Structure 1
Amino acid sequence: MAHTDPTFYRSPGAAITAAPEQIAYVAAYDPAGQQRDAIAVVDCDPDSSTYGGVVGWTELPTAGNELHHFGWNACSSALCHDHGHHEHGHHGDAMERRYLVVPGIRSSNTYVLDTKPDPRHPVLAHTIEADELAAKAGYSRPHTVHCGPGGIYMSALGGPNGDEGPGGVALIDHDTFEVIGPWEVDRGPQHFAYDVWWHLRYDTVMTSEWASPSMIENGLNPADLLGRKFGHHLNFWSMSERKLTQRVDLGDQHQMVLELRPAHDPSKAYGFAGVVISVEDLSASVWLWHRDGDQWAVDKVITIPAEPAAVDDLPPALQPFAAVPPLISDIDLSVDDRWLYVSCFGTGELKQFDVSDPFHPRETASVRLGGITGRTPHPAAPDLPLAGAPQMVEISRDGRRVYATNSLYAAWDEVFYPDGVGAWMAKMDADVTAGGLVPDAGFFPHGDDFRGLRVHQTRLQGGDASSDSYCYTD
């Protein structure tokens, strides 16, 4: 029997009780596309003298990729299946959580970084060129990476060479990192793509919808938004047959159905989806999908209203509305499925909800950092007004630490923060008993720490709340 990676956890409970992360990997990019993209390595060990500092920096060989989301080559879902040839990972080694698969949403190149020789200094091991993704899978603008059964799943927004699509999911070989092909056998009417996740025990894959490349790459066109042209469906697929089985329209006023966060308990068939904005009242919302007989149903369970604001305090795009939309850009669900975090890129708020009853979330805490009108400073630098806002959110496996970074997507940062967003990362300490969220004054890498680059997604050593799907309940 091959040695099993100790960071492949049998159950959510095993993940929660495992040793905490010592480092975080953070995607960094130059919005001007001049400096090379990088993965920053941040020290998360509170006993370390460099805690909260950038302690590693892996530059890619190129610029202009706009590193965005990335993920592990393998994780706990590897325990669900008879490994067969998946007993071995790259070059015949036993499969392990070793490689970071890092797509560039602008370049459509994907970089595979090896973290094993020195976790603080990942090294480039393989490149999936845009041409290979286009030729073998018919996709471009790769977005979200998940380690899964039978391969690595990588969602992509565009068709070959950046054309309008349809977007979808490419399958990448676990061992060689070659593109196998498109995951879908029958996509039906699905066209827009964004996130992909699954319920392994229910043979179901879920995908969400943002837009085509031309709708996002030059910024947000208000006519597209008011014309309700962005994605507003949740798509449900048969995992084994790789075909679309159900589409749920949330209503075309609910524009941009982005992050999907299924329950980690593999026996549970529900999860949460974030919606960026309602064009009716600028509110944002979170929706719950769940089984209803032999179908999936989707219900709105959280609504966050827009906040009135003085016109002079608003960027031009928002002045006609005299309000700041919350703009839910990410959500994340703790591994025990109890706490949902919701980031509001417009208002600068990170909210915590108790979702132990998923049909009735209860807000338990809120932290404000940045924000379009608030520019709320971090306690570590009380005199520094912050631009951007909590955007990508990642939760430690034990749920006690919540990390946030402040850039959404270069062309869209400028729409809401015309003076730029700079770069910062914050860590919040969470009370996982009664609820509560407090910024850690000792953890605030920002500005020059990231060498002038902006920061997007965070991944935690050994896995985090949005990396793994689990095979067993205990």
Structure 2
Amino acid sequence: MAPPLAGGFSPHPSVLYISSPCSTLSTSQPTPAKQTASCTSSSCTSALDHTHPEAFSMDRCRTQCYEYPTCPDVVKVPREEVAYVACTYRETCNDQPDFLATVDLNPRSSSYGQVIHRLPMPNLKDELHCLGWSAACSCFDSSTAKRKLILPSLISSRIYVVDVGSQCRVPKIIKMIEPVDVFWKCNKGHLATTHSLPNRDVLIANMGDAAGNGKGGFIVLDGDTFELKGNWENECEAPPTGYDFWYQPRHNVLISSAGSVPRRAGRGFDPDDLKKGVYGRRLNVWNLSCRTLTQCFDLGEDSMPFSVKFLHNPNAAEGYVACALSGVIYRFYKCERENWAVEEVIRIPAKDVSGWIMPKMPAFISDLIISTDDKFLYVSNWLHGDIRQYELSKNCKPRLVGQVFVGGSILRGGPVTVCRDEELKCQPEPLVVKCKRIYGGPAKLQLSLDGKRLYVTNSFYSTWDKQFYPNLIREGSAMLQIDVDTEKGGLTVNKNFLVDFGKEPNGPCLAHDIRFPSGDSTSENVA
């Protein structure tokens, strides 16, 4: 059996089964089994596409991975020319509003790699964090207009709706939902990941309630008017914590992660919070059409399941979840028609260190994305400082084929000394791009549709940025481009590309999520 990691992180998942919509969860052994929950409502019709019989016949338990064709139109999509980046001034001692940056990504442009427009928010200290589209594309068809960008706020719980279709380089705010409406109508707050649903409504995951206590679940916006409709799930089924989610309509399933308790994690990372329920441990499986919680996986105390992604192929009933604190990535997959299972496929070992907040430093996997052809998986290790590229092989065991360091806490010459490292022979060197020293660690990733350019920002969450990377607060964020070898695997920093958010007119700011109006590897959902 594998040993637990620092802080008592357990690597062995158990399964929680739901016997009724409001039942108490009970823990069982990791062996998958059929759950007893079922949908009996006549109005609860399946979202499964019955023209795809393979969706019903997949018995995936301990069998070879699902084989599927890649989308032939991905490579035909034009190269990304602009990016929208969420930027915040919170915790920078600069009382300026957050803003949505428009970045020029056209290498033939005179403003390549520069912020060409800034859309300031009308309020202070929102902490723009995740961005999401109001509509999804089918098979990455760029003719499908994504005209509205949804900007939920992690701290204020305010929601902005931004029009990027009228003038893609000069977006504008067209609607704002105030926190009081979210608090009173939904008893939710601390908003995170956003996706559009098959019925065009917009679903936003939340991390807590209005007081900052842990409370998972989702709120719903009308896909046409963007009015707040209410909660998505039944009140009694809201998980203890929440953050990210993804869904597959043809399998009528939505899977969500855990995150952390906002009120406690919002004060910074405190080792004393370990083993106290501050950091989540559950992976939740939902019936998409019924909006009911059907199955849960306990991935270990303080594992903090964070980033969730399905494969892009609409028939594939599998995906991956990255646990931030345990450094483990699990593959989840469908065994039978109503049963899902998980298995550990990647483990990034903690490092024995001195000069840090704990004697062992976890990788802290802050993001996970999958290429549109489902060939590669990418992860960002915010504390260790590296980005990893794994090949998704047919035997379900991802193979490490690329790695590059773009910052982190274990750099040579820094305050942290690595005493024992299972992977590296020496501490990596600091990264300098276009004469700028890169502080912080890789936080948020975005991949071009052709899979050849990986973009990364280095702000995870302003409070934690200030705690672990104080130089990042002073110098500001950076957005880097990583060149990807899509044939043999491999990652290389493009030394000719740098978006320096330390040179903003209102002072250095922190940059997080990235979106492309032409489509990207995280906002697309093929129905």
TM interval, short-chain normalised: 0.7 to 0.9
User: In the TM superposition, what is the alpha-carbon distance from 1:308 to its structure 2 partner?
Assistant: 3.5
User: In the TM superposition, what is the alpha-carbon distance from 1:190 to its structure 2 partner?
Assistant: 2.1
Match of 1:50 in 2: 111
Q: Is the contact between residue 252 and residue 289 of structure 2 (CA under 8 Å) also seen in structure 1?
A: yes
Q: Is the contact between residue 146 and residue 517 of structure 2 (CA under 8 Å) also seen in structure 1?
A: no
Report the Cα distance in structure 2 between the residues aligned to 1:251 and 1:448, rounded to whole angstroms: 38
1:381 and 2:437 matched: no
Match 1:266 to one of 296, 301, 314: 314
Q: Is the contact between residue 100 and residue 114 of structure 1 (CA under 8 Å) also seen in structure 2?
A: yes
Report the Cα distance in structure 2 between the residues aligned to 1:234 and 1:259, rounded to whole angstroms: 10
Amino acid at match of 1:304: I
Match 1:153 to one of 188, 203, 221: 203
Q: Is the contact between residue 190 and residue 212 of structure 2 (CA under 8 Å) also seen in structure 1?
A: no
Match of 1:454 in 2: 510
Amino acid at match of 1:380: V
Within a 5 Å distance, the mapping from 1:273-422 to structure 2 comes to 273-278=321-326, 284-293=327-336, 294-309=338-353, 311-312=354-355, 314=356, 317-318=357-358, 321=359, 323-357=360-394, 359-374=396-411, 376-381=429-434, 384-421=436-473, 422=476
Report the Cα distance in structure 1 between the residues aligned to 2:493 and 2:205, rounded to whole angstroms: 32
Match of 1:196 in 2: 245
Amino acid at match of 1:381: K
Match of 1:20 in 2: 79
Match of 2:30 in 1: none
Q: What's the CA shift string for 1:30-72, capped at 9, x where partnerless?
A: 1237111001111111221211111111111111001000111
Q: What's the CA shift string for 1:437-467, capped at 9, x where partnerless?
A: 1111111112434441110111112121010
User: In the TM superposition, what is the alpha-carbon distance from 1:259 to its structure 2 partner?
Assistant: 0.5
Amino acid at match of 1:464: D
Q: Is the contact between residue 142 and residue 155 of structure 1 (CA under 8 Å) also seen in structure 2?
A: yes
Report the Cα distance in structure 2 between the residues aligned to 1:199 and 1:174, rounded to whole angstroms: 19
Report the Cα distance in structure 1 between the residues aligned to 2:470 and 2:229, rounded to whole angstroms: 41
Amino acid at match of 1:300: E
Within a 5 Å distance, the mapping from 1:83-232 to structure 2 comes to 96-150=145-199, 151-159=201-209, 161-185=210-234, 188=237, 190-227=239-276, 229-232=278-281
User: In the TM superposition, what is the alpha-carbon distance from 1:373 to its structure 2 partner?
Assistant: 2.5
User: In the TM superposition, what is the alpha-carbon distance from 1:187 to its structure 2 partner?
Assistant: 5.1
Amino acid at match of 2:342: V
Q: What's the CA shift string for 1:370-399, capped at 9, x where partnerless?
A: 1112175445336x4422111100111111
Report the Cα distance in structure 2 between the residues aligned to 1:115 and 1:358, rounded to whole angstroms: 42
Q: Is the contact between residue 110 and residue 129 of structure 1 (CA under 8 Å) also seen in structure 2?
A: yes
Q: Is the contact between residue 24 and residue 44 of structure 1 (CA under 8 Å) also seen in structure 2?
A: yes
1:41 and 2:89 matched: no
Out of 54-63 and 232-241, give the one that drifted further. Answer: 54-63
Q: What's the CA shift string for 1:326-347, capped at 9, x where partnerless?
A: 1111111111111111100011
Q: CA separation of 1:70/1:54 partners in 2, compared to 1, >3 Å: closer, same or farther?
A: same
Amino acid at match of 1:134: F
Report the Cα distance in structure 2 between the residues aligned to 1:209 and 1:128, rounded to whole angstroms: 25
Q: What's the CA shift string for 1:218-249, capped at 9, x where partnerless?
A: 11221222445411111001011100000011
Q: Is the contact between residue 77 and residue 470 of structure 1 (CA under 8 Å) also seen in structure 2?
A: yes
User: In the TM superposition, what is the alpha-carbon distance from 1:429 to its structure 2 partner?
Assistant: 1.1
Match 1:251 to one of 300, 320, 337: 300
Task: Give the % identical residues.
Answer: 32
Out of 189-198 and 167-176, give the one that drifted further. Answer: 189-198
Alignment RMSD: 2.2
2:508 counterpart SS class: coil
Q: Is the contact between residue 27 and residue 68 of structure 1 (CA under 8 Å) also seen in structure 2?
A: yes
Query: TM-score under structure 1 normalisation?
Result: 0.87
Report the Cα distance in structure 2 between the residues aligned to 1:325 and 1:78, rounded to whole angstroms: 37
Amino acid at match of 2:112: Y
Report the Cα distance in structure 2 between the residues aligned to 1:37 and 1:462, rounded to whole angstroms: 24
Query: TM-score under structure 2 normalisation?
Result: 0.78
Unaligned runs of 5+ in 1: 1-10, 81-93, 279-283
User: In the TM superposition, what is the alpha-carbon distance from 1:206 to its structure 2 partner?
Assistant: 0.6
Report the Cα distance in structure 2 between the residues aligned to 1:26 and 1:218, rounded to whole angstroms: 25
Report the Cα distance in structure 1 between the residues aligned to 2:339 and 2:176, rounded to whole angstroms: 40
Q: Indicate the structure (1 or 2) with the bigger Cα radius of gyration.
A: 2
User: In the TM superposition, what is the alpha-carbon distance from 1:186 to its structure 2 partner?
Assistant: 6.2
Amino acid at match of 2:364: L
Q: CA separation of 1:137/1:186 partners in 2, compared to 1, >3 Å: closer, same or farther?
A: closer
Q: Is the contact between residue 265 and residue 278 of structure 2 (CA under 8 Å) also seen in structure 1?
A: no
Q: Is the contact between residue 433 and residue 498 of structure 2 (CA under 8 Å) also seen in structure 1?
A: yes
1:437 and 2:491 matched: yes
Q: What's the CA shift string for 1:200-223, capped at 9, x where partnerless?
A: 100001111012221221112212
Match of 2:29 in 1: none
Unaligned runs of 5+ in 2: 1-69, 415-428
Q: Is the contact between residue 74 and residue 140 of structure 2 (CA under 8 Å) also seen in structure 1?
A: no
Out of 218-227 and 191-200, give the one that drifted further. Answer: 218-227
Report the Cα distance in structure 2 between the residues aligned to 1:138 and 1:225, rounded to whole angstroms: 26
Q: CA separation of 1:233/1:443 partners in 2, compared to 1, >3 Å: closer, same or farther?
A: same
Q: Is the contact between residue 216 and residue 238 of structure 2 (CA under 8 Å) also seen in structure 1?
A: no
1:19 counterpart SS class: coil
Q: CA separation of 1:445/1:349 partners in 2, compared to 1, >3 Å: closer, same or farther?
A: same
Match of 2:52 in 1: none
